[in-house]
Amino acid sequence: MPLLRFDLIEGRTEAELTTLLDAAHEAMLEAFRVPPGDRYQIVTEHKPSRMVIEDTGLGIPRTRNVVVVQMITRPRSQEMKQTFYRLLTEKLEARCGIAPSDVMVSCVVNTDADWSFGHGRAQFLTGEL
């Protein structure tokens, strides 16, 4: 766990999506040292006119390959987050041909009480996790 949400411009094949999600999962495993089965990923695809991702004045070029990742997570250190950003861009570039300039990440941090993985229980609070 974290929960990763991906916003993409529509048009990638199933194989391309699988490779992208696998690469992101590997980056998460390395950066956060979570168990391999902690895999929560949601992909939303948009028409090109429905994703406007500019560069905040940083001179970062964007293409149709842009990937916006929202990571919803328990608290992580700055070092862990920066490691994730680096690994994610490296793996997406190497395995998917996505330029690091086309990867944007935003973290939403919450607490143990904010998670229920099912059965109406907060497993981090009950000790199940």
Active-site positions read: 2
Query: Residue 102 is which amino acid?
Result: D
Q: How far is CA 85 from the centre of its chain?
A: 9
Both tokens assigned to 28: 């998460």
**CA–CA separation, 50 vs 47, rounded Å?**
5
Phi, psi of 118 (to 5 degrees): 140, 170
What is the DSSP secondary-structure string of 58-70?
Answer: S-----TT-EEEE
Tell me which DSSP letter residue 58 carries.
Answer: S
Decide if 15 contacts 45 (C-beta within 8 A): no
